[in-house]
C-alpha cells in the first residue's frame, strides 16, 4: 500500500514558496477523500500534506486491526487525568488513538460501516445547519459506497460503484448464534441491515465493513490511490503542518484576515512554507485541526493570550469535544464447561479457520461481527450499542509490543490487563462492550503551549452527567440479562466475575461494583468529534459555518470529524467521509465547478 508519487522530497528539497490552488492538511478519512475529489477539477492544483507515511502492510488485514494501536503509526494521544475516570488505565489517563499515516484513522480503525440515523442528521439541521439534514446527506453516503452485499429486506439505499467498498463479513464465530438468539429473547428485533434508519435501528444484526476482497478499504485505498496518477494532485508524506499563514487585512484594521498558506516541518526538522491562491483546508482530525487553528491565532482569545499567541479570530475552537464512552470490562467464557484440552484444540481450530478465510480473501475481524442497538430506557431510539469481541485462548499477550491487547485497545494499566490475561490463559474471552451512544458531556482540546509540536491537552469530561452513567449501567444490565438467556446458558457462556483491584470493597455484580468498575475502565470508543463545531455564524458556539468556512476568515475551512455539531449515534468513519464528500461539492459549487 504505497502512494507512489511522494511529492515530499521535492518539497523538502527547497521548493519553497510554491503555490497551489488548495492545500489540504491531513490525509485521513476526510482529507484523503477531499483531496481526491478536489483533484477531479483538472485545472486545480491540490497539495495534500500528511504528517505520517504509508500504512504498514499488516494494517490491510482486518483480523490484525488492533496491532496499529499505540504503534508508531498511532498518534497515541493521552488525556489529562480526570477525578471520576480512568482509575484502571495506564497512569490514570485515557488513550486516544488516531492514525498517523495515509488514510489516517481509516487505516487503523475497526472498519465497521455505520452511517448514523435520520435523527442524528436532522438534529444537526435543527441546530441551525441548513443543508445537513438526513435527506441532504444521504446522497453523499450513497455516492461514496460500493456495496457488495445482496438485496436486503430492510430497504436501505446502498451505493453501487462508488470508490469505498462496503462488504458484509462472514462470521464463523460459534458464539454468534448464541448471542443473536439471546438478543432475540431480550425482545430485540433482528436487523437485516444495521444501517436501517426508518424506523430507527433498534435491534441486533450483522454489521457491514469497509473491506474489499477481504482487505481493509481505507480512504487511501478507496479515494487517494485511484487518483494517484493525476498530474494536478500532489501528496507529500511525512510533512507535519505547524501553522496556517494568515494575511492581515490590507487596511490593517477591521477587515477580514485571509489564510494564504501553511508552514510545515520536514522529517529533517527543517521548516518550509507553501502558499495557496484559493484555500487552506484543515482535515487533521479532532485533536490536531483545533490545535493548528489555535497556534495560528484562531481560538478562544483569552486562552491564546495566555500562551502569548496573537489573536487573529476569537472563536470557541477546541470546545464541544464529544465521544462515545464504552465499558469493555464484561467478559464471557465457557471455561467451566469445557476441558482445558478442548479449549486449546477448539480455539486453535477457530483461529485456523479464520485465517483460512482471510487467506481466501474473505475479510473477517475475528470478532463476532454482531452488533446490538438497545433502547434501554424506552426513548424510541437506541441509547446503547453493544459490540462483541473475541480474544482466542492465550492470545491477549500475543502482540508486537508485548503488551496486553486490551492495553493497546483501551489503555488498560498492566495491573488491570493482568486480570484479563489470567482469564485468557484459561479459555477464549468474549468481551461484550456496551457503548453509550446517547451522551451529552462535552470536553475540550486546549493548548499545552504555543509550540505547534507540543501535544495539546485533552479534557474529555466523559460521563459528567449522572444520566450518562445510568445509561452505561443499563447497558451493563443488558449484557447481564443476556448472560441469563437460555441460548447463552446452553452454550455454557458465563460472565466472569472480574475483580478490579480498586473495587474489592464491592461484591461483583452489585450496582456499587459496576459504578466502581466504570470508574476504572470506562473510556473512549474511538469516536471523538466536534472540536471545530459547525453552526450558524450567529451561534457563539460555532467555529465553522455550514459551508465549513472558519467563521470571520477568508480562505480557510475545516473539513473532518471535528466539525460535527453533535456526535452521531454510531461509529464515526462513514459520517466523516460523508462530510468530505459534501464539503468537496460545497467547494466546487463555490467556484462554479459543479455540473
Ligand X SMILES: Cc1cc2nc3c(=O)[nH]c(=O)nc-3n(C[C@H](O)[C@H](O)[C@H](O)COP(=O)(O)OP(=O)(O)OC[C@H]3O[C@@H](n4cnc5c(N)ncnc54)[C@H](O)[C@@H]3O)c2cc1C
Q: How far is the CB of 57 from ligand X (least distance, A)?
A: 18
The verdict on whether 527 is a catalytic residue reads yes
Place of cell 464471557: 332
Identify the residue among 59, 70, 106, 584 touching ligand X (CB under 6 A).
106
Nearest 10 degrees: Cα torsion 312, 315, 319, 322: -110
Q: Report in angstroms the alpha-carbon separations of 5 from 17, 104, 220, 309.
A: 20, 18, 13, 36
Edge to edge, the sheet with strand 164-168 lists 112-113, 208-209, 164-168, 145-147
| Closer to ligand X by Cβ: residue 98 or 444 | 98
Question: Where in 17-36 is the site for ligand X (CB under 6 A)?
Answer: 25-31
Q: How far is the CB of 575 from ligand X (least distance, A)?
A: 8
Question: Where in 372-431 is the site for ligand X (CB under 6 A)?
Answer: none
> According to the binding rule CB under 6 A, does residue 240 interact with ligand X?
yes
Q: How far is the CB of 209 from ligand X (least distance, A)?
A: 8
With contacts defined by CB under 6 A, name the span among 95-103, 432-440, 479-487, 501-509 that binds ligand X.
95-103
Beta strand spans in 500-592 (E): 523-524, 556-558
Identify the residue among 97, 178, 257, 372 touching ligand X (CB under 6 A).
97
Identify the residue among 112, 330, 463, 564 touching ligand X (CB under 6 A).
112
Nearest CA to 270 out of 290, 294, 242 is that of 242
> According to the binding rule CB under 6 A, does residue 52 interact with ligand X?
yes
DSSP conformation letters of 160-217: SS-SEEEEEPP---THHHHHHHHHHHTTPPBPS-TT-TTTT--EEEEPEESEETTEE-
| Closer to ligand X by Cβ: residue 209 or 514 | 209
With contacts defined by CB under 6 A, name the span among 130-138, 343-351, 462-470, 572-580 that binds ligand X.
572-580
Nearest CA to 43 out of 227, 232, 223 is that of 232
- The residues, ordered by sequence, that sit 6+ positions from 339 with a Cβ below 8 Å of its Cβ are none
Identify the residue among 39, 59, 71, 109 touching ligand X (CB under 6 A).
109
Cβ 460 vs Cβ 82: under 8 Å: yes
Angle CA 394–407–416, to nearest 5: 80
> According to the binding rule CB under 6 A, does residue 69 interact with ligand X?
yes
Q: How far is the CB of 156 from ligand X (least distance, A)?
A: 16
> According to the binding rule CB under 6 A, does residue 261 interact with ligand X?
no
> According to the binding rule CB under 6 A, does residue 89 interact with ligand X?
no
| Closer to ligand X by Cβ: residue 85 or 110 | 110
> According to the binding rule CB under 6 A, does residue 526 interact with ligand X?
yes
Q: How many CB atoms lie within 10 A of CB 252?
A: 7
Nearest CA to 28 out of 121, 114, 100, 76 is that of 100
> According to the binding rule CB under 6 A, does residue 105 interact with ligand X?
yes
> According to the binding rule CB under 6 A, does residue 220 interact with ligand X?
no
> According to the binding rule CB under 6 A, does residue 532 interact with ligand X?
no
| Closer to ligand X by Cβ: residue 27 or 85 | 27
| Closer to ligand X by Cβ: residue 485 or 573 | 573
Place of cell 436487523: 191
Q: Report in angstroms the alpha-carbon separations of 559 from 197, 317, 444, 500, 579.
A: 25, 14, 19, 41, 7
Containing 480, the helix (H) or strand (E) segment is helix 466-483
Binding map of ligand X across residues 160-199, x = CB under 6 A, - = no contact? ----------------------------------------
- Active-site positions read 527
- Binding residues for ligand X, rule: CB under 6 A, are 25-31, 49-52, 69, 97-100, 104-106, 108-112, 240-241, 283-286, 288, 292, 526-527, 560-561, 571-574, 576
Amino acid at each position: 500500500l504505497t502512494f507512489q508519487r511522494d511529492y515530499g522530497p521535492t518539497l523538502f528539497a527547497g521548493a519553497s514558496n510554491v503555490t497551489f490552488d488548495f492545500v489540504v492538511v491531513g490525509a485521513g478519512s476526510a482529507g484523503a477523500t477531499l483531496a481526491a475529489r478536489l483533484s477531479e477539477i483538472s485545472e486545480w492544483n491540490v497539495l495534500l500534506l500528511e504528517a505520517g507515511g504509508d500504512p504498514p502492510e499488516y494494517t490491510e488485514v482486518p483480523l490484525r486491526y488492533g496491532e496499529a494501536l499505540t504503534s508508531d503509526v498511532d498518534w497515541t494521544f493521552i488525556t489529562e487525568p480526570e477525578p471520576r475516570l480512568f482509575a484502571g488505565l495506564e497512569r490514570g489517563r485515557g488513550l486516544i488513538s488516531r492514525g498517523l499515516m495515509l488514510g489516517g484513522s481509516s487505516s487503523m480503525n475497526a472498519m465497521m460501516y455505520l452511517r448514523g440515523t435520520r435523527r442524528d442528521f436532522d438534529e444537526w439541521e435543527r441546530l441551525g445547519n441548513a443543508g445537513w439534514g438526513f435527506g441532504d446527506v444521504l446522497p453523499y453516503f450513497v455516492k461514496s459506497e460500493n456495496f457488495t452485499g445482496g438485496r436486503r429486506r430492510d430497504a436501505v439505499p446502498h451505493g453501487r460503484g462508488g470508490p469505498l467498498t462496503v462488504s458484509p463479513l462472514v462470521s464463523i464465530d460459534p458464539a454468534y448464534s448464541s448471542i443473536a438468539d439471546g438478543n432475540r429473547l431480550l425482545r430485540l428485533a433482528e436487523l437485516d441491515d444495521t444501517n436501517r434508519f426508518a424506523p430507527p435501528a433498534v435491534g441486533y444484526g450483522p454489521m457491514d465493513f469497509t473491506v474489499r476482497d477481504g482487505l481493509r478499504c481505507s480512504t487511501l485505498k478507496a479515494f487517494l490511490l485511484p487518483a494517484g496518477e493525476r498530474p494536478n494532485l500532489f501528496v507529500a508524506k511525512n510533512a507535519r503542518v505547524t501553522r496556517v499563514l494568515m494575511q492581515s487585512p490590507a487596511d490593517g484594521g477591521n477587515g477580514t484576515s485571509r489564510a494564504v498558506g501553511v508552514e510545515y516541518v520536514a522529517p529533517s526538522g527543517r521548516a518550509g512554507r507553501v502558499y495557496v491562491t484559493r484555500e487552506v483546508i484543515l482535515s487533521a482530525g479532532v485533536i490536531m485541526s483545533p490545535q493548528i487553528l489555535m497556534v495560528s491565532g484562531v481560538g478562544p482569545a483569552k486562552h491564546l493570550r495566555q500562551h502569548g499567541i496573537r489573536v487573529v479570530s476569537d472563536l470557541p475552537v477546541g470546545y464541544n469535544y464529544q465521544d462515545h464512552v464504552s465499558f469493555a470490562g464484561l467478559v464471557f467464557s465457557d471455561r467451566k464447561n469445557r476441558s482445558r484440552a478442548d479449549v486449546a484444540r477448539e480455539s486453535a481450530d477457530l483461529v485456523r479457520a479464520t485465517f483460512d478465510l482471510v487467506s481466501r480473501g474473505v475479510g473477517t475481524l475475528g470478532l463476532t461481527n454482531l452488533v446490538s442497538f438497545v433502547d434501554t430506557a424506552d426513548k424510541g431510539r437506541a441509547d446503547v450499542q453493544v459490540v462483541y469481541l473475541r480474544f482466542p485462548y492465550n492470545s491477549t499477550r500475543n502482540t508486537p509490543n508485548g503488551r496486553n491487547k486490551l492495553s493497546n485497545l483501551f489503555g488498560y494499566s498492566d495491573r488491570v490487563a493482568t486480570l484479563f490475561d489470567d482469564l485468557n490463559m484459561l479459555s477464549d474471552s468474549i468481551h461484550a462492550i456496551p457503548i453509550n451512544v446517547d451522551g451529552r458531556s462535552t470536553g475540550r482540546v486546549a493548548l499545552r503551549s504555543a509550540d505547534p509540536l507540543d501535544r495539546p491537552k485533552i479534557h474529555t469530561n466523559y460521563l459528567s452527567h449522572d444520566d450518562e452513567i445510568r445509561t452505561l449501567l443499563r447497558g451493563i444490565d443488558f449484557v447481564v440479562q443476556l448472560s441469563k438467556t437460555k441460548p447463552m446458558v446452553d452454550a455454557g457462556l458465563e460472565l466472569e466475575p472480574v475483580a478490579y483491584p480498586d473495587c474489592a470493597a464491592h461484591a461483583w455484580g452489585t450496582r456499587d461494583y459496576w459504578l466502581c468498575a466504570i470508574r476504572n475502565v470506562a473510556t473512549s470508543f474511538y469516536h471523538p468529534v466536534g472540536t471545530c463545531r459547525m453552526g450558524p455564524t450567529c451561534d457563539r458556539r460555532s467555529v465553522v459555518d455550514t459551508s465549513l468556512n472558519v467563521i470571520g476568515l477568508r480562505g480557510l475551512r475545516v473539513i473532518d470529524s471535528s466539525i460535527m455539531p453533535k456526535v452521531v449515534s454510531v461509529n464515526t468513519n462513514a459520517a466523516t467521509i460523508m462530510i468530505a464528500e459534501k464539503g468537496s461539492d460545497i467547494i466546487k459549487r463555490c467556484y462554479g465547478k459543479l455540473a
